[in-house]
Amino acid sequence: MSQEVEKVKSFIIGSGPAGYTAAIYTSRANLSPIVYQGMEPGGQLTTTTEVENFPGYPDGVEGPAMMEDLRKQAERMGADIRWGLVTSVDFSHRPFKISTDDGKHFEAESVIIATGASAKYLGLESETKFRGAGVSGCATCDGFFYKGKPVAVVGAGDTAAEDALYLSKIASKVYMIVRRDAMRASKVMQDRVIKNPNIEVIWNSVTKEIYGTEQGFMKAVKGAILTNVVTGEDRKIEVDGFFVAIGHKPNTELFNGQIQLDEEGYIKTIPGTTQTNIEGVFAAGDVQDHIYRQAITAAGSGCMAAIESERWLQTQD
């Protein structure tokens, strides 16, 4: 008995600003997209509290509420948005073959990948508890909320140095927690951090615990306990924000061997476009962007992917 296969012009893998925006544009182009939202419908912004830097929300907006707005808009345009995970893809020939965890099988004329990237965290139970309530993986997203308050940054590379320097202009004090006695950041970034009077580098230290207050559903970080890996001594620092800057991991495991990835696992796209090395397969948002990682740039690339896929499909008729 043959398996029933749904045929679709545009299949979008993932949600968030990139996936939902792509759904809005492909729907308006009468491509009748099907969207599978993935493990985290709405993407990383669903773990963020207030978003103040996305255009169109003068008073700010809660991350989950903004993603709900985008989802509803995509559905109103006609997108078929479904819960579930894509479990396998075959990009070897068109139509592309896709299977999902609910047992469905699809043949797609074009595919937009918007599976995003996930911030790497330390793996502490207390870190998970306060994620979105003081613990963040994005300084440029959440730094504003700690204006005039002390914060900490964990990491030793260029990203951590950039985050510390960015936060030093906002926060009352920045603690930069470095595991070893040296940074991995470029020399110029190290020099800027060391010379910045608002940044204190805490060397040879790891985070033992993040602590804070809990009142019902309301939580807030109040500080962290650090352990010196050389002496074994603990030190307590009082901070309102705790930023983890140890890297991001693109959600591309599904596409290994199917599409070109860079050395960090991000999908390669032709510069200035969202086109991958497979004609008819496009990538948008953080899954192909390790530089900006903002909701607005993800949404913009979702728009690009939709327009490029529409134009490409026109050439195939």
Tell me yes or no: is domain 5-118+249-316 CATH 3.40.50.720.
no
Residue 234, SS3? strand
pLDDT per residue as tens digits for the range 239-287: 999 999 988 889 999 999 999 999 999 999 999 999 999 999 999 999 9
Q: Is 197 exposed, middle or buried (0-12, 13-18, 19+ CB in 10 A)?
A: exposed
User: Is 141 marked active-site?
Assistant: yes
Q: Which residues, 6 or more positions from 124, have their beta carbon under 8 angstroms from its beta carbon?
A: 207, 209, 210
138 is catalytic: yes
Name the catalytic one among 69, 138, 191, 286.
138
Domain ranges of the chain: 5-118+249-316, 121-244
Fold match between 5-118+249-316 and 121-244?
yes
pLDDT in the model for residue 317: 66
pTM of the complete model: 0.75
The superfamily (CATH) of domain 121-244 is FAD/NAD(P)-binding domain (3.50.50.60)
Catalytic residue, candidates 141, 163, 240, 286: 141
Which of the residues 102, 142, 191, 303 is marked catalytic? 142
Low-confidence ranges of the chain (pLDDT < 70): 1-2, 41-49, 317
pLDDT recorded at residue 1:
42
CA-to-CA distance for 193 and 62, rounded, in angstroms? Answer: 32
